[in-house]
Amino acid sequence: MNQQNYLTQCDFLMNLSDHTINMTTGWNGPCWFIPGPTWLTTAVLNGLATPTMTHRSPEFKVVMAELHGRLRHSFALSPTSTEMGQQSQEGEDGYSVVVVSGSGTAAMEMVIANRFGPEDRVLVPTNGKFGERVAQICENFTSVTHLKGEWGRAFDLEEIETILSTGEFDALAICHNETSTGITQDAEALGKITQKHGVPFILDGITSVGGLPVHPESWNAEAVVVGGQKCTAGPSGISAVAISESYVQKMIENRNNHDSSQVYYLDLVQALKKAADDQTPWTPAINLCTGWVAALREQDEEGIENRWHRCEMLAKGIRNLFTEIGFELFADENQRSNTVTAILYPEPEWGEEWRRWMAVEKDTHVIGGQDHLKGRIFRVGSMGVTSKEEMIEGCKRMIEGFRHFGRTIPEIDVESFFR
């Protein structure tokens, strides 16, 4: 999108209601299917524009308490109060949430760096770019075994179980929803395996939390990470972690066992202490917190389970529609994500040109492939506040775009795929 288009879009979003549905003609706004940063509603933009407050003020503690309490809904943890001074960050299930001023990668680094030492052996199976990033983070702080799989193929659970059953590993860390390839790992099955072999389980839930069913407690997860700009439809540059009691205990043991800590700014022991008082150790991203609260109010208005269902309905529609018109989906069939769908370009020669044309001519935004998948796939997000109407219109425009590039696609009832 060029600068002028971008400003027009901002204008459009600020001046019209968020859900730009004309009752006679359907959706008439931009179609934004980037798998994060997602579309920010007017309420979130207004939340970001909250007047200055200091991070040690009662006003800010009110914001943090609400943020903690509502994030617990995103993580599907036991509910707490959203009121200041009520321990909103820690629930009956023993999990605590901590807000991080930094994107999802900072939160993931925080989770690994505080909990493990160089002698800890962490197994990281991967099937895409973000799993590989988990392995890279672990490489910096732990003794990692990277089980590098083919992008887009499901994990071999038997292989993982065989490795963990040796008793040689101190943790399993994964990217739960692999945004680069449109795969959701079978976290429930992996949770059972880790439980059986007494191995702590860590998840990058950056594009799953808030958009897909996530169950930290029943999955035996010690830590799960979320990024603001993804399924919760909040701002970029802010993230959060959910950590269990056993994580906290092991983190403190790890701190006591090492002469020097590997962290300072990302010290989770300090962050946890301050969170109990609805604060943060350092000056946080104050206005990202106020913006995120506004996004989470919208999440709670919709209801977290309804949001999971909407993402599922949208992703199923995309999968079925594109399969019907002869496109191939990239990810293994039984592990396809409901928050991002990876689709192979019919003609890699002009795929990226099509994508740019869609943005400029049709105001419809999808993302391309990463690394060796550049030019081979495009990815359609179905997270955040994307509505059925926006998705239907966007799919119609994408089909028009493919026809414009010479692909023969018969007339098709797009609406029927999203009922």
Q: Which residues bind ligand PLP (CB under 6 A)?
A: 36, 103-105, 130, 175, 177, 179, 204, 206-207, 227
Minimum CB separation of residue 112 from ligand PLP in Å reads: 13
Tell me whether residue 179 or residue 386 sits nearer to ligand PLP (CB atom).
179
Tell me whether residue 291 or residue 346 sits nearer to ligand PLP (CB atom).
291
Task: Report which of 239, 232, 238, 240 is spatially closest to residue 299, judged by C-alpha positions.
Answer: 232
Contact 236, 229 (CB under 8 A): yes
Minimum CB separation of residue 37 from ligand PLP in Å reads: 9
Which tokens hold the place of 371? Answer: 């690394």
Task: Report which of 306, 268, 348 is spatially closest to residue 96, judged by C-alpha positions.
Answer: 268
Minimum CB separation of residue 184 from ligand PLP in Å reads: 10
Minimum CB separation of residue 15 from ligand PLP in Å reads: 29
Tell me whether residue 135 or residue 414 sits nearer to ligand PLP (CB atom).
135
Minimum CB separation of residue 60 from ligand PLP in Å reads: 23
Handedness of CA 155, 241, 235, 102 (dihedral sign): negative
Tell me whether residue 90 or residue 204 sits nearer to ligand PLP (CB atom).
204
Which residues partner with 125 through β-bridges? 147
Minimum CB separation of residue 23 from ligand PLP in Å reads: 35
Minimum CB separation of residue 361 from ligand PLP in Å reads: 26
CA-based R_g, the chain, Å: 21
Strand ranges across the sheet with 367-368: 340-344, 377-381, 367-368
Tell me whether residue 88 or residue 338 sits nearer to ligand PLP (CB atom).
338
> Tokens 């962490």, residue?
122
Contact 348, 376 (CB under 8 A): yes
Tell me whether residue 340 or residue 385 sits nearer to ligand PLP (CB atom).
340
Tell me whether residue 177 or residue 386 sits nearer to ligand PLP (CB atom).
177
Give the separation between CA 81 and CA 69, rounded to whole angstroms: 6
Tell me whether residue 204 or residue 363 sits nearer to ligand PLP (CB atom).
204
Residue type, 378: F
Secondary structure in 3-state letters for 78-98: CCCCCCCCCCCCECCCCCEEE
- Checking 16-22 for CB contacts under 8 A at 24+ apart, the result is 17/42, 18/42, 18/43, 18/385, 19/387, 19/389, 21/387, 21/389
Minimum CB separation of residue 175 from ligand PLP in Å reads: 5
Tell me whether residue 38 or residue 103 sits nearer to ligand PLP (CB atom).
103
Give the separation between CA 335 and CA 160, rounded to whole angstroms: 17
Minimum CB separation of residue 267 from ligand PLP in Å reads: 19
Tell me whether residue 240 or residue 325 sits nearer to ligand PLP (CB atom).
240
Minimum CB separation of residue 127 from ligand PLP in Å reads: 12
Contact 32, 278 (CB under 8 A): no
Tell me whether residue 61 or residue 133 sits nearer to ligand PLP (CB atom).
133
Minimum CB separation of residue 167 from ligand PLP in Å reads: 29
Give the separation between CA 177 and CA 39, rounded to whole angstroms: 20
